Amino acid sequence: MRRLASRADAFVEGFRPGVAQRLGVGYEDLRQANPRLVYASISGFGQTGPYRAWPAHDLSYQAMAGLLYNLIPDGSSAGRPAVAIGDLSSGMFCALGVVAALMARERTGRGQYVDVSMTDGLLSWMTTALTSQLNRGGANDPIGGEPAYGVFRCADGRYLTLSIAHEDHFWRNLCGVLGRPDLADLGGLERRRRRRELADTVQQVIAARPRDEWVEALVRADVACGPVLALEEVVADPHFRERGMFMEWEGPSAEGGQTAARPGVSASGGGEHRWLVNHPLRFSETPTTIRRAAPRLGEHTEEVLAEVGYSREEITRLREEGAV
């Protein structure tokens, strides 16, 4: 590991605090081999603090960062989020931290240690609610308090979202579509004060028509909204298709070659055919592409070891010893 680290720009590990040090691959161990190394550790609660060694997974990180507090009405059980937000967001925070540390290294010539806590990242995403709590001693949730910010059941059993955060003009437009002009002039404070009553009123009207009819009417009236799409609807959605978010990919061919990902083109040539979710960012000068799929475990072991000078005989010995 030290030999690999001596040639690396960045090293990322995701053990519980203390494990990498016990294995002899902690920051202090690897920086001796490469003082320019950027070393990032991702953990549930970070490298310091009383919770640093707690056992937990994503749902618990969300709970402790305050993301779930408004999903538990009247003490009842909350629904489980479908996405591991802490896991995924920590990867993004880590990538940003590594890039920032590499930029700093261009000025200082030195690497550094990046401590990434999944829970801290989620906590930072709760800034709006927590800042109000810190400074005024009470939760201030203008979005969550809006009667037309939520999920509503339609006549066909499917759901749509209304996402009127605080805009009076969206509320007026909604009231026009719902046939309730008597409610159109209610301001934000009054809407939040009467939240339960108004949300029930909105739900009663929404329940009278199917989802897609409502979405068409609401978008035409310029109301902030969106359908709740099932996974099969997401992958067939024309917007995401036009954006190129799904791409057909051809893997290694029978001859052992590999072709690049080709958006919108049927794979051919005897390789493995798969659909992949494309990169979400669009660059004007350096467009992204998926050149190969995620590697299988150990797929590039020999390639990586050869890059740092291991001979074929040494690699064979490492395999025989069970080191790789």
Known catalytic residues are 57, 87
- Largest distance between two CA atoms of the chain: 83
Q: How many CA atoms lie within 13 A of 26 on its CB side?
A: 11
* Cβ-based neighbours of 81, under 8 Å, separated by 6 or more: 59, 62, 67, 68
Tell me how far apart the alpha carbons of residues 45 and 62 are, in angstroms, rounded to a whole number.
Answer: 11
Contact 155, 207 (CB under 8 A): yes
AA identity, residue 105: R
CA dihedral 286, 290, 292, 294 (to 10 degrees): 120
Q: DSSP alpha helices (H): ranges in 184-289?
A: 188-193, 195-206, 211-220, 231-236, 238-242
Question: Cβ atoms within 10 A of the Cβ of 24, count?
Answer: 10
Tell me how far apart the alpha carbons of residues 106 and 176 are, in angstroms, rounded to a whole number.
Answer: 57
What are the beta bridge partners of residue 273? 250
* Cβ-based neighbours of 102, under 8 Å, separated by 6 or more: 9, 10, 38
Cα distance from N-terminal residue to C-terminal residue, the chain? 11
AA identity, residue 207: A
